[in-house]
Amino acid sequence: MSKALRLSEKWFRRGLWLVALVFASFLIGLGGTIVGDLPKVETPLRLDDFVDQSAAQPLRAQAKAARQAEEEAQAALEQARLQHAKARGETQAARETFGNWLAARSATQRSDHDPEVIARTQALDALKGQEHRAQQAVQAQQQAQLDARQALGGAQQRLHEVEQAGYEKMAAEQRRVELRVFLYRLALTLPLLVAAGWLFAKKRKSTYWPFVWGFIFFALFAFFVELVPYLPSYGGYVRYVVGIVVTALVGRYAILALNRYLERQKQAESLPDQERRKELSYDVALARLAKGVCPGCERPVDLKNEQIDFCPHCGIGLFDRCGACRTRKSAFARFCHACGTGTHARPPAPPMA
């Protein structure tokens, strides 16, 4: 249809389409803000709201105490290991010193050193005793750490069993919340879609059509972007069922619209030529001619063929002769392109003899 418009009209229409898009963008921004705030009407869910607190609190306290005991045992174990390493080092050093001293005594064979042998042996035994007690302390802390770890594991296992039931309840409630939020979105977007459908059917060619189309774009965006992605799934059944229903409704509307269009075309093609021309607007006729189709039946016609004056499909007149200069012109043109005479001008009178 753009080829049938005046140049200024083309730019005005482009500007109005820009107005429609800008109007739609602001509506989409406002709608997105409102839809984004819809989940805030629901109270945030917490696990503690769904857990048996009489069973969970003692287990949590037990787990906390066991965790603290494990940490304390770990710290004591590190200290015991340091003490054990120190005692073992002292024992090793004393053993090496005593061995060296025995080697020196064997070389000298002095019997007055026998009491010192006994004393050094006793001192070495004492160090060995300290090392043994340090090792026992390490083992005791390891046992304490193991007991605390086992107690912690048992408490956590029982707490997990208690919380698992809470998780299941919270998940069920979360699904119900998601469904309610979806219904909020549906209650907001469905009326917009219905209003957009009414505007498309009744007002899309009105004076304020840029605002009509802007609202239509906004309603489509709100439905397919703000609503459809949040459609509950329930294993895919809901989405597939909704998809089937929407497709069936759209397909039914398309089939009925096509049948109505074909019926209108049949009725129009059965009318006389002059009546059919009254039903066609000037701009629509020019737009269809620019596409190389018949303005009456919209079937392809070779308009460049100068032998074709009528549509071979519906019989409507496509070309006629100017009433003033008899030039072949489009039957839908308002003025002759050769002489500028109006379409309804009478043919020139025959010359006087």
Tens digit of each residue's pLDDT (9 = 90 or more) over 108-157: 555 555 676 677 677 777 777 787 888 888 888 888 888 888 888 888 88
Q: Which residues contact 35 (CB under 8 A, 6 or more apart)?
A: 185, 188, 189, 222, 226
**DSSP letter (8 states) at residue 187:** H
pLDDT in tens, 325-337: 888 888 888 888 8
CA-closest candidate to residue 30, choices 312, 230, 221:
221
Using CA atoms, how far apart are residues 124 and 97, in angstroms rounded to an integer?
Answer: 10
Q: Which of the four pLDDT bands, split at 50, 70 and 90, describes residue 94?
A: confident
| Cα-to-chain-centroid distance, residue 215 | 23
SS3 call for 245? helix
Residue 349's pLDDT is what? 44
Farthest-apart Cα atoms in the chain, separation: 178
**CA separation for the pair 258, 250 (Å, rounded):** 12
Question: What confidence score (pLDDT) does residue 22 get?
Answer: 92
Cα–Cα distance measured from residue 119 to residue 123, given in angstroms and rounded to the nearest whole number? 6
Residue holding tokens 């209108």? 264
What would the two tokens of residue 87 be?
Answer: 């005692």
Task: Kindly indicate the confidence band of residue 35, based on its pLDDT and cuts at 50, 70 and 90.
Answer: confident
**What single-letter DSSP state applies at residue 291?**
T
Please report which confidence band the pLDDT of residue 234 belongs to, taking 50, 70 and 90 as the band edges.
Answer: low
